[in-house]
Structure 1
Amino acid sequence: MIRLGQFLKLANLVEHGGEAKEVIAAGEVQVNGEIDTRRGRQLHVGDVVELRGQAARPVSEADYVDDLPW
């Protein structure tokens, strides 16, 4: 699991934590199609996070490692 604010930074949807806090508080972030204003919301594998027309979803470490070319 990862928190929403952290995920926004990790997914490069925002540049820094302050920006994550602002867009979440402003109601600009959707999780699974619904606006979420909780910066500490716990995301799970498969959740879809949308901001400004861009979408990303958390994956498990095992999924990520399996997709590497080596």
Structure 2
Amino acid sequence: MCGDWYDLVELPGDRAAVAVGDVVGKGLSAAGVMGQLRSALSAAFRVVGGPAQALEVLDLYARSVEGAENTTVR
């Protein structure tokens, strides 16, 4: 298990968002952080105005997740 992830989220208006992320680390801990961030970003995409806002929401959320300090997402 590791902390790499990707997600494809359908958006209104026949649009889609693709996110690719990486949590530093290996094993169950990194996989747990990855799962939390992936789920949070997927939810944010569905309730905010666009991808930039979804990433801002994820940034705020990640500050409360132990182990998410060195995470990247595109």
What TM-score results when the alignment is normalised by the length of structure 2?
0.27
Higher helix share: 2
What TM-score results when the alignment is normalised by the length of structure 1?
0.28
Bigger relative CO (Cα 8 Å, ≥ 6 apart): 2
